[in-house]
Amino acid sequence: MIGAGVAGLATAIRLASKGVEVTVFEQQSTYGGKMGVWQNKGYRFDTGPSLFTMPHYVKELLAIDGKNDVNFEFKELDIVCNYFWDDGTTLQATKDLEKLQNAFENNLNEPKTNIAAFLADSKKKYDITSHVFLEKSLHKLRTYLDWSTFRSIFKLPQVEIFKQMNYQNERRFKNPKTVQFFNRYATYNGSNPYLAPATLNVIPHYEYGFGAFFPTKGIRSIATSLYHKAVNLGVSFHFDSPVSQIHKYGNRYVVNGTQESDILVCNMDVASAARGPLRNIIPSKRKKYEPSSSALIFYWGINRTFPNLDVHNIFFSNNYKKEFTSIFTEKKIDDDPTVYIHISSKCNAADAPQGSENWFVMVNAPYTENQDWEVIIAKTKVRILEKLNKVLGIDITKHIVLEHKLTPELIQSKTGSYKGALYGSSSNSRMAAFLRQPNFSSKHKGLYFCGGSVHPGGGIPLCLLSGKITSDCIQRDFKLY
Ligand SMILES: Cc1cc2nc3c(=O)[nH]c(=O)nc-3n(C[C@H](O)[C@H](O)[C@H](O)COP(=O)(O)OP(=O)(O)OC[C@H]3O[C@@H](n4cnc5c(N)ncnc54)[C@H](O)[C@@H]3O)c2cc1C
């Protein structure tokens, strides 16, 4: 396997549990890929993902062999996210749906019934799509010969694949702030709500239907637990081992001229792999390939606490449409970006010194394409601080005692992510789900793919599902039952 990201770990666990001898080559000195960690001066930061949904996918992997040998604890968040607008409007999104609907009605004058109807529709979309689009390969005939798939295809108009997300949300809601709130879910897979299909309105069901969670030892503990499980199952890891070349002789794959195998699983971003180690085996992506958005993140040690903030906080842009035009058309970070602050020390006090907080401050950014990032980063930092100072009514600059950064270029170089995209390809087109890289190669026996750049897409839950789909394909092809 090339890469020890979460999808690679999930696939390795599943294959090893079936008796396959798995060797993982990872270019970094540790596992987890984008799910990294950085610590300094008593502050600990999860550098990549911060929002955790569908923990049962992790539990399922840890219990795969019936042994309770790896510890993993998490808790459900009562407050899913705090929302702030520049005009002083706030909204607290809670797991308690009655409270959530009241908050919309009281703070945004949005009728409760609109929220209830939207969430019911989100659940319906999930029920129709999950077992077809998320849990199976879209590129195997057997998927379409299944009665449940047939039923889902029959209901596809309800999934609104031919309608646009923002257009549908504007029709549903009275207050443009509610539209902005629900449009934001397109960013969960790095897409543009003004282009993406309304199918993405399924995403809120993950948060409000299943809940938002937080691992008690931080997000990185997901990767740590999966790594330990993989090791316990006999998976062998080679760190600091970038794969530069794969050769194929007959049906055997040779990694870096040394290790040979019948099966090769590529967990590294497939668009980068096609330009890198797999360049002689698979063609690089179509010209029209559009990566998802990237991000600029500041990790700030803050020497005070903020009682009005929670684990997840959003400070919305005043012109959301312009923000997405900046990102996807002009390939720049908007002058008034939506700012996301994640503070894990709200949940786990050990993540910051006493009386302090660890702020993960992120804005959406375009994928990297010859921008002058130094200039953009300096300008964006000023804009972020202006926004936060205004909304929180305090000069944050004075309280930053530590700073570390992650940029689209660094995401690309550290994790091999093509152009620094967070979630592989974007879902801005209605055919995106079908055009994403399949979990297997139809030309090369024994070649498989898993992770955020392949079906069913990016984000922790989907990456874990891609591990399942990929190992299912391998198990069937190699009769590993
Ligand atoms: C800043 C940020 C915020 C995010 N926020 C969220 C969130 O809140 N919730 C959520 O669910 N998801 C979020 N995501 C997305 C999520 O992190 C990813 O979808 C997921 O972690 C991707 O896992 P993966 O296994 O596909 O790939 P990766 O994590 O990219 O792993 C691929 C691995 O392959 C290795 N590799 C690459 N090239 C080579 C080579 N040539 N040889 C050997 N090894 C190689 C890399 O080093 C890496 O370890 C976020 C991502 C980022 C970066």
pLDDT value at 286 more than 60:
no
Q: Give the lowest-confidence range in 159-173, 278-292, 367-381.
A: 278-292
What is the spatial distance between Cα 35 and Cα 414, in angstroms, rounded to a whole number?
A: 11
What is the spatial distance between Cα 173 and Cα 104, in angstroms, rounded to a whole number?
A: 11
Highest-pLDDT range among 113-122, 285-294, 451-460: 113-122
pTM of the entire structure? Answer: 0.95
Smallest CA-to-CA distance from 38 within 396, 358, 417, 310 is with 358
What's the pLDDT score for residue 188? 93
Question: Rounded to the nearest 5 degrees, what angle is found at the Cα of 246, between the Cα atoms of 242 and 248?
Answer: 160
Instruction: Tell me the H-state helices in 63-156.
Output: 97-108, 112-129, 141-144, 147-154
Ligand 1 atom 48: the closest Cα is on which residue? 33
pLDDT value at 399 more than 90:
yes
Ligand 1 atom 26: the closest Cα is on which residue? 451
List, in order of start, the domains of the chain with CATH numbers: 6-35+49-76+221-287+425-477 (3.50.50.60), 99-207 (no CATH), 293-366+369-406 (no CATH)
* First and final C-alpha spacing in the chain: 21
Summarised one tens digit per residue, pLDDT across range 294-307 is 999 999 999 999 99
Smallest CA-to-CA distance from 404 within 3, 30, 36 is with 36
The percent helix, strand, coil of the chain (3-state, each to 5) is: 40, 20, 40
Q: Is 214 in the pocket of ligand 1 (CB under 6 A)?
A: no
Tokens of 145: 């010969």
Summarised one tens digit per residue, pLDDT across range 411-434 is 999 999 999 999 988 878 777 767
pLDDT mean across residues, the chain:
94
Q: Which atom of ligand 1 is nearest to the CA of 272?
A: 38
Classify each residue of 438-461 as buried b or exposed e, where b means 16 or more C-beta atoms within 10 Å of its C-beta: bbbbeeeebbbbbbbbbbbbbbbb
Smallest CA-to-CA distance from 132 within 144, 123, 120, 119 is with 144
State the amino acid at position 337 in one-letter form.
P
Environment class of residue 92 by beta-carbon count within 10 Å: exposed (0-12), middle (13-18) or buried (19+)? middle
Contacts of 413 (CB under 8 A, 6+ apart): none
249-266 average pLDDT score: 94
Tell me the CA–centroid distance for residue 464 and ligand 1, in Å: 12
